[in-house]
Amino acid sequence: MTKLTNLTLAEARDGLKAGDFSAVELTKAHIDAMEKHKDLNAFITETPELALEQAQASDAKIKSGDAGAMEGLPIAMKDLFCTEGVRTTAASRILDNFIPPYESTVSGNLKKAGAVMLGKTNLDEFAMGSANITSNFGAVKNPWGENVGKDLVPGGSSGGSAAAVAGGLALAATGTDTGGSIRQPASFSGIVGLKPTYGRCSRWGIVAFASSLDQAGPMTKTVRDAAIMLQSMAGYDVHDSTSARVDLPNFEAALSGDIKGLKIGIPKEYKVDGMPQEILELWKKGEEMLKDAGGEVVDVSLPHTKYALATYYIVAPAEASSNLARYDGVRYGHRAEGELKSLDDLYMKTRAQGFGEEVQRRIMIGTYVLSAGYYDAYYAKAQKIRTLIAQDFEKAYEQCDVILTPTCPSEAFGIGENEDDPVKMYLNDVFTVPTSLAGLPGISVPTGLSASGLPLGLQLIGRPFDEETVLRTADVLEKAAAFSAKPKMLEA
Amino acid sequence: MSALDKDTVKNIAFLSRIEVADEKLEPLAQDLTKILDWVEQLSEVDTDGVEPMTSVAAQTLHWRQDEVTSGDQPDLVLKNAPDQTDHCYLVPKVVE
């Protein structure tokens, strides 16, 4: 029999239903794997006792025929989702003692569907980063590191979630994506990562980074698993005024395997200077695979692509500076120690001690671009270019149904690399940021290996609220690519 | 874009309510200048007549009845307070 930790979410679901194993057995297998691979540092807080309690309850429900859609399936929760009674840190010192008295809508939805929570996964502090190196709880190691004999980043910000799924510590995990934080780590770690349309999942109870961009989504081993998990995460929520009042389709049913006549757009602007040849080749291969499956390839143009990253690095820090103003050392979280002379002194010392370097940098950039005299030159300008970027996509979708691009301009890099220059680090998100600015659904599918033997992903981008086409195409791409390579650590 | 000087950075830090040691102002000024120089490329885009995007989702906000939907949970609200007394947050003395 396959090791329980090697199962997909769909296989585990079916196995539980058939009575091949219990939810407690399945959960125990993952708790053992977590114990064995603590060196990955994928979790900030582990909740094995809670997980076993939930698994026992799930076994009872399965027995009584009362099982939810995710019943008894052990998953990991990014430590950005507030979980009632379980510490939620956003990987920041400023929240290192915060125990939410309430549950986020998405984690609550998963709980209601019967999912078992193994623990809270590591991330870049406040989800600000692309390598999971800004966490107050230390860097996360990519499970693929052993394959090339060095410590690699798992990508970020959802790096702990990516490592947990790729390393077989959890069947699946939640992520959040503001500029690529689900898709980029999925590409670096050889798993599937789906950022739904803005508004598809409620943001209520997710520690806010940039509210007009933040969106929760599944990180899974397969496209089918992503469809299953999204079904339980998504839906309108009265607590989030930006959550969409749209019908929830059956995402798994969308995986028909049929993309005949579907128009696949290839945006020429994504052929950026200095992109490795192997990524260009993989992209071409992906195009061929979809063509062979009956898709029609069309060239499209997204002319403002080159301005997306700079636009993002005005809009996101501006929103972050406003969102993070709430951390003041008064109501919850860290408060500065020592003698405090005034309320301003309390704020300034608390925030200097509580926020890491990258978070401080982004708060200050955001404060500057919103400040009197600079607002129009920076923030208003960026908001206008954001409109142009969204219009680019609208025009492209007059010619095609889904867009195919690489997910990232590189494979996973070593821990310690790209740290000398913030702008260099930001370039990781060059292909994922435009989708976020336009609020569109995007998925990363592991499609091939680099010359050094590391996973590379391709991205599919869809129309607003058309996750069905995205998932259907991704499923076809996944089957054609037949990506079967695994991190060496899974062989032991 | 001219480079940010130390005084400007000091003011940004104060507006952000983040204490920055004097010796850190200079390297921080360089970091922030580098980022601002990089975003400066946006000035070459013609945005005349373009509406700024204020909402990514094409939807209007819904109204609801103006009524209390939750509340009266002072213990829960104060559960994570660093310092409190009698259902109030405690802060350093602000009035002499």
Q: How many CB pairs under 8 A join A and B?
A: 154
Structure tokens at A128: 């600000």
Question: Stretch B3-15: mean pLDDT, rounded?
Answer: 94
Structure tokens at A212: 């007009």
- Give the residue ranges of DSSP H helices in A64-140: 105-112
CA distance A89 to A182: 19
B96: pLDDT confidence band, cut at 50, 70 and 90? low
Whether residue A423 is predicted with pLDDT greater than 90 in this model: the reply is no
B91 contact partners, CB below 8 Å, separation of at least 6: A330, A343, A346, B83
How far does B76 lie from chain A, in Å, by closest CA? 6
Whether residue A47 is predicted with pLDDT greater than 90 in this model: the reply is yes
Whether residue B1 is predicted with pLDDT greater than 60 in this model: the reply is no
Q: What is the pLDDT of residue B62?
A: 83
Where residue B27 sits, what CATH number does that domain have? 1.10.20
CA dihedral (A230, A84, A191, A309) positive or negative: positive
End-to-end CA distance of chain A: give it in Å, rounded: 16
List the single residue in A with minimal CA-CA distance to B9: A364
CA distance A439 to A393: 10
Question: Stretch A105-117: mean pLDDT, rounded?
Answer: 98
CA dihedral (A435, A436, A440, A441) positive or negative: positive
Q: Is residue B93 part of a domain?
A: no
Q: Is residue B33 part of a domain?
A: yes
CA distance A393 to A462: 9
Q: Is A105 helix (H, G, I), strand (E, B) or coil?
A: helix
Q: What is the pLDDT of residue A348?
A: 97
CB contact under 8 A, B57 and A387: no
- Omega of the bond prior to B16 within 30 degrees of 0, cis? no
Whether residue A69 is predicted with pLDDT greater than 70 in this model: the reply is yes
Q: Is residue B51 part of a domain?
A: no
CB contact under 8 A, B53 and A386: yes
Q: What is the pLDDT of residue A257?
A: 97
Question: Stretch A326-346: mean pLDDT, rounded?
Answer: 92
CB contact under 8 A, A364 and B36: no
A492: pLDDT confidence band, cut at 50, 70 and 90? low
A107-121, A143-157, A264-278, B53-67: least confidently modelled range: B53-67
Q: Does B33 touch chain A (CB under 8 A)?
A: no
Written as one letter, the residue type at A132 is N
CA distance A438 to A432: 11
Q: pLDDT digits over A125-154, tens only?
A: 999 999 999 999 999 999 999 999 999 999
Structure tokens at B74: 């002072």
Written as one letter, the residue type at A478 is E
Percentage of residues in chain A with pLDDT exceeding 90? 94
CA distance A311 to A436: 11
Nearest to B50 among A238, A351, A387 (CB): A387
Whether residue A308 is predicted with pLDDT greater than 80 in this model: the reply is yes
Most confident of A181-190, A337-346, A424-433, B68-77: A181-190
Q: What is the pLDDT of residue A143?
A: 98
Q: What is the pLDDT of residue A418?
A: 81
Q: Does A203 touch chain B (CB under 8 A)?
A: no
Residue in A201, A42, A53, A29 with CA at minimum distance from that of residue A116: A53
CB contact under 8 A, B80 and A321: no
CA distance A59 to A73: 11
Alpha-carbon Rg of chain A, whole angstroms?
A: 21
Question: Stretch A49-62: mean pLDDT, rounded?
Answer: 98
Nearest to A313 among B15, B35, B51 (CB): B35
CB contact under 8 A, B34 and A341: no
Question: Stretch A82-111: mean pLDDT, rounded?
Answer: 98
Structure tokens at A397: 């979708």
Nearest to B52 among A241, A244, A387 (CB): A387
CA distance B5 to B27: 10
Q: What is the pLDDT of residue A1?
A: 57
Number of domains in chain B: 1
- Omega of the bond prior to A157 within 30 degrees of 0, cis? yes
Q: What is the pLDDT of residue A402?
A: 98
CA distance A283 to A455: 13
A110: pLDDT confidence band, cut at 50, 70 and 90? very high
Question: Stretch A473-480: mean pLDDT, rounded?
Answer: 98
CA dihedral (A263, A266, A267, A270) positive or negative: positive
Percentage of residues in chain A with pLDDT exceeding 70? 100
Q: Is residue B56 part of a domain?
A: no
Q: What is the DSSP letter of A161?
A: H
Q: Is residue B11 part of a domain?
A: yes
Interface of A with B in 132-161 (CB under 8 A): none
Catalytic residue among A28, A58, A78, A104: A78
Whether residue A338 is predicted with pLDDT greater than 90 in this model: the reply is no
CB contact under 8 A, A97 and B80: yes
CB contact under 8 A, B18 and A360: yes
For the domain made up of A4-260+462-490, give the CATH fold.
Answer: Amidase signature (AS) enzymes (3.90.1300)
Whether residue A465 is predicted with pLDDT greater than 70 in this model: the reply is yes
How far does B31 lie from chain A, in Å, by closest CA? 8
- C-alpha A57, offset from chain centre: 29
Question: Stretch B35-58: mean pLDDT, rounded?
Answer: 92
Q: Does A351 touch chain B (CB under 8 A)?
A: yes
How far does A416 lie from chain B, in Å, by closest CA? 18
Name A152's bridge partners.
Answer: A414
Residue in A149, A67, A152, A160 with CA at minimum distance from that of residue A116: A67
Q: How many residues does chain B have?
A: 96
**Where do the domains of chain A lie?**
4-260+462-490
List the single residue in A with minimal CA-CA distance to B32: A365
Catalytic residue among A92, A181, A243, A444: A181
Nearest to A383 among B36, B54, B80 (CB): B54
How far does A447 lie from chain B, in Å, by closest CA? 30
Q: Give the up-direction half-sphere exposure of residue A99: CA atoms within 13 A in the CB hemisphere.
A: 8
CB contact under 8 A, B53 and A390: yes
CA distance A18 to A22: 10
Question: Stretch B26-53: mean pLDDT, rounded?
Answer: 94
